Structure 1
Amino acid sequence: MGFKEDFVWGSATAAYQIEGAAFEDGKGLSVWDTCCKRPGFVKHGHTGNVACDHYHRYKEDVKLMKEMGLKAYRMSISWPRILPDGIGKINEKGLDFYDKLVDELLQNGITPYITLFHWDYPQELYKKGGWLNRDSSNWFAEYTKVIVDRLSDRVNHWMTENEPQCYINLGHGEGTHAPGLKLDLSDVLLAGHNSLLGHGKAVQTIRKYSKLDCEIGYAPIGVVSFPDTNSKEDIEAARKATFGFDGPNLWNAAWWIDPAYLGHYPEEGLKAFEKWMPKIGANDMETIHQPVDFLGINVYQGGRVRAGVSGKPEVVELKAGYPETAIKWPVTPEALYWAPKFFYDRYKKPIVITENGMSGLDWVSLDGKVHDPQRIDYLNRYLKEYKRAAEDGVDAKGYFCWSLMDNFEWAEGYGERFGLIHVDYETQKRTIKDSGYWYKQVMETNGENL
């Protein structure tokens, strides 16, 4: 037993983090292009102007993917590269790039999984209110149709939006991500609702215009709590902590997934957000709740809880000296068992781990190689837990390691290295890390060597 024969193994990236060519070939500005110009917004004043120069080096990068044995590649498309104004006139040079990239992937036996939105919102639409504008869901649908019209004769795996918790909460509430706003909670919730409408309309658009039979999902953060022990009480406390609301918590995964997969906001959430809730249109929930084929969840860590008084979840503090990654996230492999289990139990859809990986202290050694044993150990521990979830009845559909290569890590700049491939940003030289070769063996054995 283990992963199914048709289990999908891949790696993932996002357009703004790797492409560069920020001002070339007619591309419009994104909110990240704009925010990178703000003093202090990104560490060390780093920008995505060049990033990994994937726009010019995509053939080399696909060759490396093939060398690593990747079966699938989760990539995002830059909305302002396609529609410089966000809507209206199409930039053919932008579309041509993705045309060539998709062809290159397919010629090398790698299946593209396309994410339509991974945070690089068009600056021109931001000026019109962005996700705060009721029309934003229609703008997203228009963009989706352009992509589907061009690529759906070869692409049939789609994801609508990546991590709304981040681009809505961090971007509009905390102000640490683009567009860098600190809005009232009522406006943050409005932006989130319009984003969910955008998801629904994108699904409708793909279904209507796709030239191939298609699979569609969504990729929020799978924020999860896991039980301190395997007692029934602790497990239910962890489930409650994962989906319940102890106050107005915008990181709660149920807030972002229930509408799309169940057709309504969670009742506890509605009570917690009651004072700030935007007006919900008569058909909004029907629009958001479209037929989807799988649930993508990004999982890096989880919180340990136990049953307290009357079964109420209690957070179990991490022990002194607990293991953590370079970005200071705790190493909690249990998250990749309990997240798939809890989310599959609740939503009854196949689970794809759309992101999982770690930032490490990686450099090219004197022997010219990149030795990253901690990443190998991290991935091994997490994948063993995901495999256990599959053996315990979770419909585990796939796994995309984050990330294919070191890249621009948003507000952290280039200070965090998540890649299976090392990138020297001065020379753009790529070096497959030890973990990349280890992952190749995992894929070749379908996880039997874990």
Structure 2
Amino acid sequence: MFYKLFIFVFCIFTTSGSSVQYEKQTQNLRTFPDDFFFGTATSSYQIEGAWNEGGKGWSMWDQLVRTDPGHIRDGTNGDVAANSYHFYKKDVELLKELGVSVYRFSIAWPRILPYGRPDYVNPEGVAYYNNLINELLANDITPFVTIYHWELPQNLNEQGGWLTSEIADWFGDYARVLFANFGDRVKHWITINEPHIHCSFGYGTGSHAPRIKSPGIGYYECGRNIILAHAKAWHIYDKEFRATQGGVIGITLDSTMAMPGSNSPDDIQGAADYMTFYLGQYADPLFSATGNYPQRMIDLVAEASRRQGLNESRLKPFTQEEAKNNIGTSDFFGLNHYSSTYVYRNSSVTGIYEAPSLNDDLQVGTFPDPNWYKNPTAWVYRYGQGLRKLLVHIKDTYNNPTIYITENGFSTATGRNDTDRADYYREYLNGVLDAIDDGVNVKGYCAWSLIDNFEWSFGYSVRFGLYEIDQDDPEKIRKPKYSALVYKEIVRTRTVDPSYNPDLATDASVDIKSSFLFVLAVAVLNIIW
């Protein structure tokens, strides 16, 4: 009997310490609402690898890294990446370890439709995503599926890609295949990721695939076709699948938060115009009552086009029928946000930008607050209140839609002691809590990203992962960073504790030891009893 009591007390002691600590550390800390979810995010080309396996066709990124490998900063590519095509179960194990309830991932269009069209559906591609979805559900993790995260089949790219109006039908056909094959289990769909970034870098500056440089013409045409393609997919889901599958479908937009650099009327108007061009261009057609671009944007681009001697605006507004078809075609507002900026407008910005271009149409300058912490590897400044202000802006501008933060993160170089990323997450999640207090209907947060991934033209020179990937190891070993331990604790406690400071060197071994002792204790109890 003494041994039974000893073992019982031992089990209680080893399993209750963390809850006592939790009660102490959460005093005076705000708690996320019960219906708020935590997750992480990735995209197919950035982590899957297996670029020419399993019946997959070529994407325009497969084409770029073969025809212009020097364009990638460190000369890498996504051919193998984190090899999640073969190691997806390892990724699910990481999600389970973090304790998140949502995983946002994307489906590679050329892995499902190697030639871009639905006349041939690749069974191996369908099987891969079925396996991933089923593995997530078996571990109580909800799949949030992005239909398109910049992986256009190369043969569709050669037929005009996002610069041809036909792509709305191509995209609708592709989306229908996904709904039919996965919609019985996938209840959250994101049509297209970050149309502004995709069009700006792919068809404006030419820094992303397909490397078309047309900043004041192709950029706007790409965005217009993306809105039409999104609406097409939404209506297909709404008419053909929603009643039987019961899911929701929306879009993910990206936005920096712009604030006036001074109290001058020009700076105030400049910041408002910045938000109109960068966010409103894509949000207004879907979330406003007009179904069209913001009138302020229509007027500014038309004025600039006239200055350039053109007979019509480079921005083609939606027709009355198209606008009507756009309205209300997003069940939620997916938001990707990384950084903020101050905006000014004065004579110093007149004529300095390439014309035609969005920047020339907008005519503003930007600068960061010198007190904001900047990561040393990329473009992100840390200012958590910027996210709060952006969320309030969306609430006030678009009638307080349901918002899911589908990406938010901070890049570092290699290494696992990423305390600056952990501080970024803390600061931005506190901004989310502030926004919730402000009445914003924000319901979830996905950290970008689960694992180190191929960061497009930056290659692996910047790392956003909660888990480090050993690129030199054929097994692509995944190791937690300091930020993973901090995020795990935020998920577990549903609070943001600034004093929580895990030991990166010992945390995993402590977890293993505790688990081993508990299992051993239970085994001994079974033997004794």
TM-score normalised by the chain length of structure 2: 0.77
Which of 280, 286, 300 is matched with 1:272 structurally?
A: 300
Could you give the per-residue CA deviations for residues 191-211 of structure 1, whole angstroms, max 9, x where no partner exists?
A: 211111001011112223244
Contact 1:73 1:113 in 2 (8 A): yes
Give the structure 1 partner of residue 396 of structure 2.
345
* 1:49 Cα deviation after fit: 0.5
TM-score (norm 1): 0.90
Write the letter of the residue equivalent to 2:457: A
Q: Deviations over 1:171-199 (max 9, x none)?
A: 01110001000126233222211111001
Match of 1:367 in 2: none
Change (3 A) 1:219 1:362: same
Shift of 1:44: 2.7
Deviation at 1:362, TM superposition (A): 3.4
> Which residue, 389, 409, 426 being the options, matches 2:472?
426
- Checking the alignment, whether the CA contact within 8 Å between 1:200 and 1:290 is kept in structure 2 is no
The residue aligned with 1:218 is: 251
2:406 partner amino acid? T
State whether residues 207 and 214 of structure 1, in contact with CA within 8 Å, keep that contact through their aligned partners in structure 2.
Answer: no
Match of residue 145, structure 1, among 155, 159, 176: 176
Q: Is the 8 Å Cα contact of residues 202 and 208 (structure 2) preserved in structure 1? A: yes
Amino acid at match of 1:47: N
| 3-state SS of 1:58 partner | helix
Q: Which residue number corresponds to residue 254 of structure 1?
A: 280
Per the alignment, residue 310 of structure 2 pairs with none
Partner of 1:119: 150
Instruction: Report if aligned partners of 2:175, 2:233 keep a CA contact under 8 Å in 1.
Output: yes
Displacement, 1:318?
3.6
Cα drift, residue 374 of structure 1: 1.1
Distance in structure 1 (CA, Å) of the matches to 2:154 and 2:484 = 36
- How far off is 1:161 after superposition? 0.7
Q: 1:77 corresponds to which residue?
A: 107
* Larger helix percent: 2
Q: Give the whole-Å Cα distance in 2 for the aligned partners of 1:18 and 1:318.
A: 31
Q: How many residue pairs are counted as aligned between the two chains?
A: 434
What's the offset of the Cα at 1:224?
1.5
Distance 1:321 1:389, change over 3 A: closer
2:126 maps to which of 82, 92, 95? 95
**Mapped pair 1:64 → 2:110:** no
Give percent identity, aligned residues only. 35
Secondary structure of 1:44's counterpart equals coil
Cα deviation digits, residues 76-119 of structure 1 (max 9, x gap): 11011100111121111101111000000000111000111110
State the alpha-carbon separation in 2 of the partners of residues 82 and 176 from structure 1: 26
Cα shift at 1:320: 4.8
Distance across 2 between alignment mates of 1:217 and 1:70: 21
User: Which AA in structure 2 matches 1:163?
Assistant: E
- Alignment CA distance shift 1:26-1:239 (3 Å): farther
Specify every segment of 5 or more residues in structure 1 that has no aligned partner in the other structure, as ranges: 364-369
* SS of equivalent residue, structure 1 residue 10: strand
Does residue 447 of the first structure (1) align with residue 495 of the second (2)?
yes
Higher mean C-alpha displacement, 141-150 vs 204-213: 204-213
Q: How far apart, CA to CA, are the structure 1 residues paired with 2:252 and 2:457?
A: 20
Moved more, 288-297 or 315-324: 315-324
Asked whether the 8 Å contact 2:298–2:317 carries over to 1, the reply is no
Root-mean-square deviation over aligned CA pairs = 2.5
Deviates more, 1:138-147 or 1:219-228: 219-228
Distance change in 2, residues 1:197/1:4 (3 Å): same
SS of match in other structure, 2:245: coil
Q: Which has the larger radius of gyration?
A: 2
Output aligned runs, 1:294-305, within 5 Å: 294-304=332-342
Match of 2:52 in 1: 23
Counterpart secondary structure, 1:81: helix
Q: Report the equivalent of 1:396.
A: 442
Contact 2:450 2:466 in 1 (8 A): yes
* Deviation, structure 1 residue 129: 0.7
CA drift of 1:291 comes to 3.6
Q: Once the 2 structures are TM-superposed, how far is the Cα of residue 282 of structure 1 from its aligned partner?
A: 4.3
Cα pair 1:204 1:290 within 8 Å, conserved: no
Aligned to 2:512: none
What is the DSSP-based 3-state SS (H/G/I as helix, E as strand, rest coil) of the residue aligned with 1:190? helix
The separation in 2 between residues aligned to 1:320 and 1:442, in whole angstroms, is: 29
| 3-state SS in 2 of match to 1:170 | helix
Q: CA separation in 1, counterparts of 2:317 and 2:385?
A: 39
Partner of 2:383: 332
Query: Partner of 1:49 in structure 2?
Result: 79
Give the 3 Å change call, closer, same or farther, for CA 109–239 of structure 1 in structure 2.
farther
Structure 2 CA distance for aligned equivalents of residues 63 and 271 of structure 1: 51
* CA distance, structure 2, for counterparts of residue 44 and residue 203 of structure 1: 38
CA distance in 2 between partners of 1:142 and 1:161 (Å): 14
Q: Which whole-Å CA distance do the structure 2 matches of 1:240 and 1:73 have between them? A: 39
Distance 1:10-1:449 versus aligned 2 partners, 3 A rule: same
Offset, 1:53: 0.2
Aligned twin of 2:408: 356
Aligned to 1:185, which of 213, 216, 221?
Answer: 216
CA displacement 1:48-94 (0-9 Å, x = unmatched): 10010000000111011101111100111101110011112111110
Look up the SS of the partner of 1:283 in the other structure: helix
User: Which residue of 366, 390, 414 maps to 2:460?
Assistant: 414
Paired with 1:239 and 1:300, the residues of 2 have a C-alpha distance of 22
Q: Give yes or no for contact 1:225–1:241 (8 Å, CA) kept in 2.
A: no
